[in-house]
C-alpha cells in the first residue's frame, strides 16, 4: 500500500470500487432508504409539484409562456446578472481560500465569519442596505440623481444585490476542501523551484477543480434564482428590470399559474443541465490520461 | 442573434448609466391588482396619443404592494405617475420624499381618484356557511381570509370596512367595535402579505369559508378561476375605496414628461378611460359609464374614510401604526 | 502586513495579495453596505432602539426565526450527512440524478419554493392531505416554517460534506479495519473527525441562511402575530410604515446574533482543527 501513498491525492478522488464498502448490506440499504425518504419529503415532491403545475396546461402553453417577450427579457437579464456576479465571486473565492486555507494569521476566524455573513443576512436586508446607500434618500443617492446615474432600480443595483447574496459560495466550498487537503504538495512544488503561479495552476487547481466547479455551480444557481434581495432593488419594471424569479412572481399574481411555474421550472432545469455538464466533464477528465504532477511523498 | 447582441450592449449601457431615454416613455408605478386594468388602458392611451400628437409612447408598468411601490418611488424609482391603492401611500410621496405638493388630491377630479372600488365577500359556491353580512364573520367556526393590514393596502380597507360597520351597529361605541373586529381577526387562520396572496390562499389552497376582498378582485377571481366555484356576497354596508392617482412632479419635471403624464391621467377620466375601468370591475366616476355598468355593481350603502375615520393620516396612526389598535388585537389574545 | 504570520506555511507565496484582495472585496461588497444599516440605527436613541427590539411581537418573531432555523439546520445536519454518505460511498440506480437534484433549493426562486411547499403541505396538498387527519398541521403553522427552512438549507450540509468525504482516502479506513477496528469505531474515530469541520460548516450555513429567509417562508407560515410571524416580515412591516430606523434596528439585532453564532462556530472549528492537527 505504501506505494499508493506517494501518488497525489487527486488520484483518489473517484476511486474505482475495489471492494464492497465496509457496511453490511442492511446498513447500506437502510441508509440509502433514509436518504431517499428525506429527499422525497423535502425535495422531490415539492419539485414534482412545480413541474406538475408547469405542464398541467400542456406543452404548447409551456412553450408559449417562455417565448413571451417579457419572459425572454427576464431570462436575458437574469443571465447577464449571473455573468457579472459569478466571475467576481469566483476570483474572490479563490483568493480568500488561498489566504485562509494556506496561511495562519490572527483574525482568521473573524474573517471567515464575515465571509459567511451574507448567508445569514435576510434577503430583505441585503436589498435594503443598497437602498440606504444608493436610494434617493440614501448617502449618495442625491449625488447620483443629480448626475443621472442609476444604480438601484436598474441593472447595477440588481447585479450588486446578486453579488452580495452569492458572495460566500465559492469561498465556502473551497476553504474546507483546501484545509482538508493540506499544503504539502504546494510546498513541495515551491521547494522544487516552481513559481507561485505555476504551483497554483499545476498543483492547486487540479486538486480543487471539483470543489471549484461545485462552488461555481451553486453560486450560479443561486444567482439565477435570487428573489428577495433583487425584489427590493429591482423596481419591477416589466420587460426591463424584472429577473426570472420576479417574473415568476408577477405571473403567479396574475393567476397565470401554469406560465409562472413554467418559468420557474426553467430555473430548475438550468441547475440540472449545469450538473449534467459537470458529470460529463468529470467523466471526460477521468478517461484522459492526466499528467500526474510529481510531488514528494506525504508523511 | 443581432438582437441578442443589441440587448447586451443595452445592458452595458445601463451599467455605464448613460442609457439614453426616449422622451416618449412613461412609467406607471401601480399596485398589485391593477395589472389587467392598465394593460388594456395603456394600449388604448398609446393609440389615443398617437392619433392626437403623432408621437409613439412606450408605456411601462411596475406593480407591487401599494406601500412598497410608494416607498420605491420615494427611494428613487423614476415613475412619472403613481396609481396606488390608498391616498395614504400617495401622501407619503409628499411627506417623505417631497416629490409632489401636499395638496395633490385637489389637482384632479373626485379626490384624484378616477375610479373606486369597495370591499365585498367571496364565498364558496352555494354559500355553505350562509354568510350574508359582517355579523356572520365573527361567528365562531367561520374561517375568514384577509391579508395583513401591516403590509397590504387592501387589507387596511378590509379592516376599516369592518370597523365602520361595527361603529354603526353599536352606535359609535368604540369599545364594542374593537371587540367586534377582535373577534373577526380571531377567525383568521392566515394573514397573507398581499391581497392577491389571500385570494390564492382562499381559492387555490381551499383555506377559509369567506374571503374579504376588493370588489374588482372578487369579480376577477370569478372570471379567472371559475364562476362555478365561488360567489360574491355584498354586505349591507361597506367602505368607498377611493383609488388615487398622481403625477410625480419631481420626476416629470426632471424627465420633461409632464405634458404626457398629465394627459395620461386625464385620459382615465375620459369616456374611454371610464369605460375601461368599468369593464375591469372598477366603479367608474362618470355618470354615463356608471349607468352603463350599473347592473354589474350591486347597490351597497357606502361610507367614506373621511366621514368615519377623519382621513387616512388619522386612521393609519390610530389603527395600523406600531402599538395601534390592530397590534393590540393580537397582544390581547396572547 | 499587520497580520502576524506564523511560519508554518510561509514557504508559499501570495499571502499578501490574496488576503489584501479578500479584505478589499469583502469591505466593498459586504462590510460598507452593512455598515449603512448600523449607521441608520445609530440615529435612534438607545431607549427607542431597546423599545423597538424588545416589543413582545418582535421577541416572539426572533424566537421563531432563530428556533425554527436551528431545528431545520439540525434536521439537515443529520439527514444531510446520510445523503452525502450515500452519494459518495454507494452505487445505486438514479444516483446521478439525485446528486444533481440536491442543489435545486439554491436554483429555485424562494418564492416558488414557498408556493410549491404550501401547495404540497396544505390540507388539500399531496402530502398535507395525509398529515392533517393525523393531527399534523404543517402549512400556516410554525411547523411550516421549519419545513420551508429545511428545504432552503438542504444543500448546504450535503454540499460541504460531500467533497471532503469524497476526498477522504479509503486507506485510513482500511488500515483501521485491518488493525481490528469495528465499522462503528472506524466511523467515530476516523471518518467523523475528518468530516466534522465540514459538517459544522454546513450546519452553520444552513442555520444562518434560515434565520434571514423570507421569500419561501411567508407563503407557508401563516404570518400570525406572536405565533407564526418571522423576524424578516417585521422588517418589511416597519418599512411599509416608512420606519427605516425601526426596520434597521431589527436588522441589526439579527445581524449581530448571526455574526456571534457564526463566529462561535468558526472558533469551535478552528479549535477542533488545531486539536486534530496535534493528534496526528
Digit-coded pLDDT (tens) for C145-156: 999 999 999 988
How many CA atoms, within 13 angstroms, populate the side-chain half-sphere of residue B21?
18
Taking the C-alpha atoms of residue A14 and residue C251, their distance in angstroms, rounded to an integer, is 44
Residue C116 lies in a domain: yes
The mean per-residue pLDDT over the stretch C108-118 comes to 85
- C-chain CB neighbours of A276 within 8 Å are 100
CATH of domain B2-113+244-269: 3.40.190.10
For residues C134 and C15, state if they share a domain: no
Contact (CB<8Å) B189/C222: yes
Determine the 3-state secondary structure of B86 from DSSP.
coil
Residue C222 lies in a domain: yes
Predicted local confidence at residue C10, as pLDDT? 63
Could you please report the per-residue DSSP string of C117-179? HHHHHSTTSTTHHHHGGGT---TTSHHHHHHHHHHHHHHHHHHHHHHHHHHS-SHHHHHHHHT
End-to-end CA distance of chain C: 31
- What stretches of B22-133 show up as alpha helix (H) in DSSP? 35-53, 66-74, 87-97, 109-112
A157 pLDDT above the threshold of 80 = yes
Tell me whether strands B144-145 and B81-83 are parallel, antiparallel or unpaired.
unpaired
Predicted local confidence at residue B281, as pLDDT? 95
CATH of the domain at C169: 1.10.3720.10
For residues C158 and C20, state if they share a domain: no
Q: Tell which of B86, B94, B96, B150 to mutate to test the C interface (max C CBs under 10 Å).
A: B150
Taking the C-alpha atoms of residue A115 and residue A170, their distance in angstroms, rounded to an integer, is 11
What is the CATH topology of the domain spanning B116-241+300-333? D-Maltodextrin-Binding Protein; domain 2 (3.40.190)
Nearest-by-Cβ selection for A237 from B7, B60, B200: B60
Residues present in chain C in total: 280
Taking the C-alpha atoms of residue A164 and residue C112, their distance in angstroms, rounded to an integer, is 21
CA angle C101, A264, B198 (to 5 degrees): 120
Establish if B65 touches chain C: CB-CB under 8 angstroms: yes
Taking the C-alpha atoms of residue A265 and residue A271, their distance in angstroms, rounded to an integer, is 10
Taking the C-alpha atoms of residue B212 and residue B229, their distance in angstroms, rounded to an integer, is 16
For residues C238 and C125, state if they share a domain: yes
For residues C30 and C60, state if they share a domain: no
Q: How far away is chain B from the Cα of A55, in angstroms, using its nearest Cα?
A: 17
Nearest-by-Cβ selection for A121 from C109, C212, C263: C212
Residue C217 lies in a domain: yes
Higher confidence at residue A253 or residue B300? B300
The mean per-residue pLDDT over the stretch A181-208 comes to 89
Residue C255 lies in a domain: yes
C5 pLDDT above the threshold of 50 = no
For residues C21 and C65, state if they share a domain: no
For residues C23 and C73, state if they share a domain: no
Residue C3 lies in a domain: no
For residues C33 and C170, state if they share a domain: no
Neighbours of chain A (3+ CB pairs under 8 A): B, C
Q: What is the pTM of this model?
A: 0.84
Q: How far away is chain B from the Cα of A35, in angstroms, using its nearest Cα?
A: 29
The domain total for chain C is 2
Establish if C111 touches chain B: CB-CB under 8 angstroms: no
From the list C257, B198, C112, the residue with the least C-alpha distance to A225 is C112
Q: How far away is chain C from the Cα of B201, in angstroms, using its nearest Cα?
A: 9
Residue C108 lies in a domain: yes
Taking the C-alpha atoms of residue B172 and residue B152, their distance in angstroms, rounded to an integer, is 26
Predicted local confidence at residue C112, as pLDDT? 83
Phi and psi at B145, nearest 5°, equal -110, 125
Taking the C-alpha atoms of residue B260 and residue A73, their distance in angstroms, rounded to an integer, is 26
Taking the C-alpha atoms of residue C18 and residue A95, their distance in angstroms, rounded to an integer, is 5
The mean per-residue pLDDT over the stretch B174-192 comes to 94
For residues C259 and C220, state if they share a domain: yes
The mean per-residue pLDDT over the stretch C18-45 comes to 92
Predicted local confidence at residue A18, as pLDDT? 41
Predicted local confidence at residue C224, as pLDDT? 85
Taking the C-alpha atoms of residue A96 and residue C22, their distance in angstroms, rounded to an integer, is 5
For residues C61 and C18, state if they share a domain: no
Q: Where in chain B is the domain with CATH 3.40.190.10?
A: 2-113+244-269, 116-241+300-333
- A-chain CB neighbours of C151 within 8 Å are 42-43, 46
Contact (CB<8Å) C25/A92: yes
Phi and psi at A245, nearest 5°, equal -60, -35
The mean per-residue pLDDT over the stretch A61-84 comes to 93
Q: How far away is chain A from the Cα of C212, in angstroms, using its nearest Cα?
A: 4
Taking the C-alpha atoms of residue C252 and residue C234, their distance in angstroms, rounded to an integer, is 13
A293 pLDDT above the threshold of 70 = no
What ipTM was assigned to the predicted interfaces of this complex?
0.81
The mean per-residue pLDDT over the stretch B93-119 comes to 94
Residues of chain A contacting B, Cβ within 8 Å? 73, 76-77, 80, 131, 134-138, 141, 145, 148-156, 159, 235-240, 250, 252-255, 257
For residues C89 and C212, state if they share a domain: yes
For residues C31 and C157, state if they share a domain: no
Q: Which long-range contacts (CB under 8 A, 24 or more apart) does C179-185 make?
A: C183/A22, C183/A23, C183/A27
How many CA atoms, within 13 angstroms, populate the side-chain half-sphere of residue B134?
24
Q: Domain of C28?
A: 10-42
For residues C101 and C226, state if they share a domain: yes
Amino acid at each position: 500500500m505504501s506505494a499508493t501513498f506517494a501518488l497525489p491525492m487527486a488520484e483518489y478522488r473517484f476511486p474505482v470500487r475495489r471492494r464492497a464498502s465496509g457496511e453490511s448490506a442492511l446498513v447500506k440499504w437502510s441508509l440509502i432508504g433514509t436518504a431517499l425518504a428525506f429527499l422525497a419529503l423535502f425535495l422531490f415532491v415539492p419539485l414534482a409539484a412545480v413541474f406538475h403545475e408547469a405542464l398541467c396546461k400542456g406543452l404548447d402553453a409551456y412553450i408559449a409562456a417562455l417565448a413571451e417577450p417579457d419572459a425572454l427579457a427576464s431570462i436575458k437579464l437574469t443571465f447577464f446578472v449571473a455573468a457579472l456576479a459569478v466571475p467576481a465571486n469566483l476570483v474572490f473565492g479563490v483568493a480568500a481560500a488561498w489566504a485562509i486555507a494556506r496561511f495562519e494569521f490572527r483574525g482568521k476566524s473573524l474573517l471567515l465569519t464575515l465571509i459567511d455573513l451574507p448567508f445569514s443576512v435576510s434577503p430583505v436586508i441585503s436589498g435594503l442596505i443598497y437602498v440606504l446607500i444608493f436610494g434617493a434618500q440614501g448617502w449618495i443617492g442625491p449625488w447620483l440623481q443629480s448626475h443621472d446615474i442609476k444604480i438601484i432600480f436598474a441593472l447595477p443595483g440588481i447585479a450588486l444585490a446578486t453579488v452580495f447574496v452569492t458572495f460566500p459560495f465559492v469561498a465556502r466550498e473551497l476553504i474546507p476542501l483546501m484545509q482538508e487537503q493540506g499544503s504539502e504538495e504546494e510546498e513541495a512544488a515551491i521547494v522544487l523551484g516552481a513559481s507561485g503561479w505555476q504551483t497554483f495552476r499545476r498543483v492547486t487547481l487540479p486538486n480543487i477543480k471539483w470543489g471549484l466547479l461545485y462552488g461555481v455551480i451553486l453560486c450560479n444557481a443561486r444567482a439565477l434564482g435570487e428573489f428577495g434581495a433583487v425584489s427590493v432593488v429591482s423596481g419591477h419594471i416589466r420587460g426591463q428590470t424584472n429577473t426570472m424569479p420576479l417574473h415568476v412572481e408577477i405571473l403567479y399574481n396574475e393567476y397565470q399559474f401554469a406560465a409562472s411555474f413554467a418559468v420557474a421550472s426553467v430555473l430548475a432545469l438550468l441547475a440540472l443541465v449545469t450538473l449534467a455538464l459537470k458529470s460529463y466533464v468529470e467523466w471526460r477528465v477521468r478517461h484522459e490520461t492526466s499528467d500526474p504532477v510529481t510531488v514528494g511523498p506525504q508523511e | 442573434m443581432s438582437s441578442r447582441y443589441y440587448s447586451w450592449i443595452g445592458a452595458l449601457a445601463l451599467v455605464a448609466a448613460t442609457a439614453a431615454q426616449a422622451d416618449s416613455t412613461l412609467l406607471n408605478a401601480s399596485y398589485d391588482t391593477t395589472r389587467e386594468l392598465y394593460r388594456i388602458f395603456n394600449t388604448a392611451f398609446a393609440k389615443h396619443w398617437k392619433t392626437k400628437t403623432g408621437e409613439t409612447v412606450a408605456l411601462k408598468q411596475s406593480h407591487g404592494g401599494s406601500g412598497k411601490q410608494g416607498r420605491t418611488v420615494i427611494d428613487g424609482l423614476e415613475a412619472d405617475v403613481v396609481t396606488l391603492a390608498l391616498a395614504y401611500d400617495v401622501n407619503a410621496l409628499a411627506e417623505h420624499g417631497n416629490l409632489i405638493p401636499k395638496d395633490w388630491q385637489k389637482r384632479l377630479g373626485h379626490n384624484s381618484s378616477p375610479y373606486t372600488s369597495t370591499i365585498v365577500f367571496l364565498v364558496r359556491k352555494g354559500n355553505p356557511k350562509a354568510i350574508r353580512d359582517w355579523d356572520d364573520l365573527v361567528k365562531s367556526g367561520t374561517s375568514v381570509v384577509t391579508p395583513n393590514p401591516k403590509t397590504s393596502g387592501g387589507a387596511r380597507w378590509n379592516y376599516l370596512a369592518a370597523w365602520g360597520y361595527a361603529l354603526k351597529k353599536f352606535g359609535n361605541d368604540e369599545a364594542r367595535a374593537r371587540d367586534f373586529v377582535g373577534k373577526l381577526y380571531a377567525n383568521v387562520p392566515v394573514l397573507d402579505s398581499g391581497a392577491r396572496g389571500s385570494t390564492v390562499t382562499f381559492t387555490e389552497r381551499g383555506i377559509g369559508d369567506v374571503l374579504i376582498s376588493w370588489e374588482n378582485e372578487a369579480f376577477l377571481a370569478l372570471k379567472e378561476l371559475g364562476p362555478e366555484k365561488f360567489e360574491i356576497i355584498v354586505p349591507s354596508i361597506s367602505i368607498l375605496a377611493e383609488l388615487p392617482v398622481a403625477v410625480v412632479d419631481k420626476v416629470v419635471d426632471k424627465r420633461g414628461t409632464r405634458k404626457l403624464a398629465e394627459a395620461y391621467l386625464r385620459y382615465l377620466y375620459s369616456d374611454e378611460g371610464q369605460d375601461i375601468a368599468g369593464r375591469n370591475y372598477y366603479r367608474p366616476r362618470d355618470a354615463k359609464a356608471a349607468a352603463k355598468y350599473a347592473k354589474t355593481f350591486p347597490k351597497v350603502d357606502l361610507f367614506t374614510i373621511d366621514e368615519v375615520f377623519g382621513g387616512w393620516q388619522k386612521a393609519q396612526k390610530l389603527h395600523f401604526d406600531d402599538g395601534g389598535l390592530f397590534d393590540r388585537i393580537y397582544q390581547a389574545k396572547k | 502586513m499587520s497580520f502576524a504570520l506564523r511560519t508554518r506555511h510561509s514557504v508559499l507565496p501570495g499571502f499578501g495579495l490574496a488576503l489584501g484582495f479578500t479584505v478589499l472585496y469583502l469591505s466593498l461588497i459586504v462590510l460598507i453596505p452593512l455598515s449603512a444599516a448600523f449607521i441608520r440605527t445609530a440615529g435612534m436613541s438607545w431607549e427607542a432602539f431597546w423599545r423597538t427590539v424588545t416589543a413582545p411581537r418582535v421577541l416572539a418573531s426572533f424566537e421563531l426565526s432563530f428556533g425554527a432555523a436551528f431545528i431545520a439546520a439540525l434536521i439537515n445536519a443529520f439527514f444531510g450527512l446520510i445523503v452525502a454518505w450515500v452519494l459518495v460511498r454507494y452505487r445505486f440506480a438514479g444516483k446521478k440524478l439525485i446528486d444533481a437534484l440536491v442543489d435545486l433549493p439554491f436554483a429555485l426562486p424562494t418564492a416558488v419554493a414557498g408556493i410549491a411547499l404550501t401547495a404540497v403541505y396544505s390540507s388539500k396538498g399531496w402530502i398535507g392531505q395525509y398529515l392533517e387527519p393525523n393531527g399534523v398541521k404543517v402549512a400556516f403553522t410554525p411547523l411550516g416554517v421549519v419545513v420551508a427552512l429545511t428545504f432552503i438549507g438542504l444543500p448546504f450540509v450535503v454540499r460541504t460534506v460531500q467533497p471532503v468525504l469524497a476526498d477522504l482516502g479509503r486507506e485510513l479506513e482500511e488500515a483501521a479495519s485491518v488493525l481490528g477496528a469495528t465499522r462503528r469505531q472506524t466511523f467515530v474515530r476516523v471518518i467523523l473527525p475528518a468530516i466534522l469541520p465540514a459538517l459544522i460548516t454546513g450546519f452553520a450555513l444552513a442555520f444562518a441562511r434560515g434565520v434571514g429567509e423570507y421569500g419561501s417562508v411567508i407563503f407557508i407560515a401563516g404570518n400570525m402575530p406572536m405565533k407564526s410571524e418571522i423576524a424578516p416580515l417585521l422588517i418589511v412591516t416597519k418599512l411599509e410604515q416608512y420606519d427605516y430606523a425601526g426596520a434597521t434596528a431589527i436588522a441589526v439585532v439579527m445581524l449581530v446574533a448571526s455574526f456571534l453564532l457564526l463566529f462561535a462556530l468558526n472558533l469551535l472549528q478552528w479549535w477542533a482543527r488545531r486539536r486534530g492537527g496535534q493528534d496526528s
